[in-house]
Amino acid sequence: MTKRFEDKVVVITGGSDGIGLATAKLFAEEGGHVYITGRRQHLLDEAVNQIGHGAIGVQGDATNLADLTSLYERIKHDHNKVDIVFANAGMHEAVPLEAIDEAHFDSMFGLNVKAMVFTVQKALPLMTEGSVIVLNGSIAGSKAYPGQSLYNASKAAVRSFARSWTNDLKERGIRVNVVSPGGTETRLIRSYLDAQPEVEEALNKSVPLGRLGKPNEVARTVLFLASSESSFVAGHELFVDGGVAAV
């Protein structure tokens, strides 16, 4: 197997499940020194065992700046550099406009926006020319799905970050891009759909390719954006959605 990330230090927030875990596995298989974060220690431990290849789990909340500081202090001690950041931690909650309260707003923008800003900001002192940042967005930032305006707006912010940070970091030679999945068959979504087959059928019909995505399909796109194969791609949003946003 090609080792595109041999000796690269890779940080993945929210790496104990779903897209984050799938991405961590691929980076590790291709030679990366992978650090994942998550809030629940038992899930983090299970994920590290699945990833193998010397992956390290650092328990922490991406919305907690002290936890992020501790993460990067650990990496500075171990390697004194960060080559790739996949700012993946996020949440989805559908809340109609009339039902939004302050707690909804704080939790959604806390994880999807605030955590992303400081995950990237605190990595920068360890990043050098040629480093890469990939942000996890969503087609919801472009599609404006009804009944989830907070989520849609939080993911639109991610798209804006990639544009702005590409300009902010261009003199340092650090690229920033967004991977934006559509419906993806993570473990949690799979368990929900198994109990709601009619929902799965409707979702599949809404996708031009006729099915939900797989975590590995998103993960492979992240690795492309993080690799030298995408060396002239910057400030871009790459949809991994079976054609939903484009058709």
Q: Which residues are part of the catalytic machinery?
A: 151
Euclidean distance between CA atoms 30 and 7, whole angstroms:
9
Give helix 115-123 / helix 149-169 axis angle, nearest 10°.
20
Strand partners, 85: 11, 133
Nearest to 162 by CA among 233, 93, 108, 229: 233
Q: How many Å is the maximal CA-CA distance in the chain?
A: 52
CA dihedral 90, 107, 187, 96 (to 10 degrees): -110
Q: What are phi and psi of 84, to 5 degrees?
A: -140, 130
Nearest to 187 by CA among 22, 12, 11, 13: 22
Nearest to 158 by CA among 121, 109, 123, 124: 109
Two tokens, residue 159: 């798209």
What's the distance, Cα to Cα, between the start and end of the chain in Å?
Answer: 35
